[in-house]
Structure 1
């Protein structure tokens, strides 16, 4: 799945630890394929009883089955459902930014939209999904796929808002350093679909949601901005996010949020709302799926891997320093594990964009880690860090593979190294991709068809052993 693997491994001193890091990444991406995750959670028996993550639905109780949803993993998830149910699916539509594999679908239409900034074709696709929800009756069973990226791919401007309002607000929020929970609080209160409103439109149908999570903690109210889930946030919360980050949102957005805060506009549906009486949403895969697969690859290689956390968040370049400190501690003291070691983490870091460079949180993480790491120890060490959707920060790179020699004072003697001042300048300019690509460190997978958040694989070799084993 890593297209430039040979280039990443060519003529490297820390070759073995780099090789293992890439093995772990590839196993993680394979395990996070949406078709695999859906097949692992959904089954149909000979009596037409559909099991979804332990909950059973008798298809004989319904007059029709409809599939709808969206996100970067929507096509793979829909393919798994159609392969399982076949002609039992009456109709459906899913929205994605990568329609690869759509030709294999006969019962479910695939609509393309754009990410991370919403577009007109996304508005049209979201309207089609809402029409499907509106047409559902009490005897309808809706299988709803909600995957990472759905927030941008399914824009449905609320009354009084335009697509340009959503685009300007989304861009400003993405560049502000706000958390996904904060960004989605604003999105929910600017949408006719998010924050449980899709569940409102689908009532009184039975809705079974299959969520492929790309958020820390797998909060269903945050995945895809929670179109099928109760929303605890308020218009006041959304306004506070704009103020906290100094977001210059269009006047129409601020006016809507202010009206809602005054009680002039109905709130998003909250816990206990009747819209959720016949709605069940289950997480069928997420970041932990990828981490567990990476750990399995490390075990196959003879390591006893340690998962540090699936909830790493905060500014990417700062979180990277903690991971550099962990690598140094392992090499210096054998804590929290003895070298050779594989340490894994997931989650979602953010970037506060200050300049117009090209990069993303995983690229900044990798470059900051390589810059901050004490490279004086003999034990080889490598870090692979990727966005599992294959496009970090909207770039054409998934992330990067770096080691103790990636940033070096001796870069002039080693064309595969980056000078420290070059790394610092790139981070200041939010331009991490350029030096990493020049040093043949950028990982390129292309669009993976999934999205389960970020993955980091840290491999620390044995002291004085270039093989890392």
Structure 2
């Protein structure tokens, strides 16, 4: 293991098949020592994580027998098969499941973040919701899911497709709370720097569907529920081959260990009690008189986790080994401020390049997780992966043979249409030549225009996965 393969420019037809749609442009920009290997590894990892490829390896139909891992369902025993779900990987998950079940699906509705050509399905409807902020479109689609499930009874099989972003996309505020108020609550928590776990703890206790309440409804009806899950939770272990059902917490279909009191304490911790909508505070105050989210296993509900966050690291490791490069996973739990994370990863890369510590170059470093942009005033256009990549570029400015692919694995980083960026030691100089002030872009959380101005933006569209942020660093 040692030297990466030289760049192999992709023709237009080949590039159309790659997850990163602007591979050729990125490969011909910046430091040629790192661009080719970085892009091959990033494309390799994203392709391996696509749920449209993974679901058929777990789910198959033989006559009336539906196999999910080592578990079977005889569809002849069910009067209807209903498909529901939400998440940023929902497009690919729905397309994959429909390819397996086809006309066996009686009705289906999955809420997604964005629609693309090829998303028109015969038996599962895809509807738009809001992310990261819940919106009215998502609420209407969620109500349609509740109406569909309202007729469930013994003899029905409900298959749910859940991936990251589902808590915002499938939104139905508790009685007395409006969508605008739930959206405002989410904005307050994000701006305050709350973690995604803290945000979801609050969301679960102001929702009629989150925190396992959707599965609770199905279970109470007597129907069976089969959940296929892409889990983007920091701290999970690698899934590997998901052959058997597992216990799961969170989202609309898992158990919830958190409480109304936990939700109140989070608002108090971030000093948001004065700013939070009154309807939210009143609902949380009444928590002791309300039904808590489910804490015990629900009859008839089976959960299969297809992917977890460490699987993103595993895919990147496989990609590096395909390049014949030594590879080291720094962490699958990178959290905190995106800009600071970029500075930290750059410091490690410089140590490797300059001193051969803690690893000798050439090598690949991998870090996955979910960093956040902490707003302290008006913000421009950007996202966590873009901010991390630009911060990294500033710290490695002028160094040859050091680069990063910072990827939001579902394909949209923050509120932008970019998936992240590829930056290296040439980025700062190219920004100066284009009269782009990197420091101003970082301070103003306006990284998208800066990266686009120098051609370092990474574009994928829907990727078929959503395992938070994947950072691949190459030191030549």
What TM-score results when the alignment is normalised by the length of structure 1? 0.89
Distance 2:110 2:473 in 1: 36
Distance 1:405 1:265 in 2: 57
CA deviation string 1:409-441 (max 9, x = no partner): x965xx2696xxx32332222222232222222
Q: CA deviation at 1:257?
A: 1.0
For residues 82-121 of structure 1, what are the structure 2 equivalents within 5 Å? 82-100=98-116, 104-121=120-137
Unmatched runs of 5 consecutive residues or more in structure 2: 1-18, 238-245
Q: CA deviation at 1:271?
A: 2.6
- Aligned position for 1:254: 281
Tell whether 2:403 aligns with 1:403. no
- C-alpha change, 1:103 and 1:303, in structure 2 (3 Å) is closer
CA deviation string 1:131-184 (max 9, x = no partner): 222221122111111111111111101111111111111222222221110000
Q: CA deviation at 1:221?
A: 9.5
- Aligned position for 1:35: 52
- Aligned position for 1:161: 177
- C-alpha change, 1:310 and 1:25, in structure 2 (3 Å) is same
- Aligned position for 1:450: 465
Distance 2:29 2:146 in 1: 54
Picking from 281, 294, 297, the partner of 2:316 is 294
Distance 2:365 2:392 in 1: 14
What TM-score results when the alignment is normalised by the length of structure 2? 0.87
Q: CA deviation at 1:336?
A: 3.2
- Aligned position for 2:380: 357
Aligned 8 A contact 1:28 1:289 in 2: no
- Aligned position for 2:32: 15
Q: CA deviation at 1:218?
A: 4.2
Q: CA deviation at 1:125?
A: 0.6
- Aligned position for 2:188: 172
SS at match of 2:427: coil
Aligned 8 A contact 2:248 2:255 in 1: no
CA deviation string 1:44-92 (max 9, x = no partner): 234x332223332232332221111111211211221121112222222
SS at match of 1:233: coil
Number of residue pairs matched?
445
Aligned 8 A contact 2:397 2:428 in 1: no
Distance 1:385 1:425 in 2: 20
Aligned 8 A contact 1:147 1:214 in 2: yes
- Aligned position for 2:11: none
396-405 vs 438-447, which deviates more? 438-447
Tell whether 2:265 aligns with 1:240. yes
Aligned 8 A contact 2:382 2:447 in 1: yes
Picking from 66, 76, 87, the partner of 1:71 is 87
SS at match of 2:199: helix
SS at match of 1:332: helix
- Aligned position for 2:394: 371
Aligned 8 A contact 1:436 1:442 in 2: yes
Aligned 8 A contact 1:416 1:440 in 2: no
- C-alpha change, 1:279 and 1:66, in structure 2 (3 Å) is same
- Aligned position for 2:413: 392
Aligned 8 A contact 1:221 1:231 in 2: no
Distance 1:375 1:183 in 2: 39
Aligned 8 A contact 2:91 2:119 in 1: no
- Aligned position for 2:254: 229
Q: CA deviation at 1:187?
A: 0.7
Q: CA RMSD in A?
A: 2.3
Q: CA deviation at 1:233?
A: 0.7
- Aligned position for 2:339: 317
CA deviation string 1:103-149 (max 9, x = no partner): 55222222222222222111111011112222211221111111111
Q: CA deviation at 1:197?
A: 0.4
57-66 vs 316-325, which deviates more? 57-66
Aligned 8 A contact 2:406 2:471 in 1: yes
SS at match of 1:394: coil
Unmatched runs of 5 consecutive residues or more in structure 1: 462-469
Distance 2:364 2:153 in 1: 52
- Aligned position for 2:295: 270
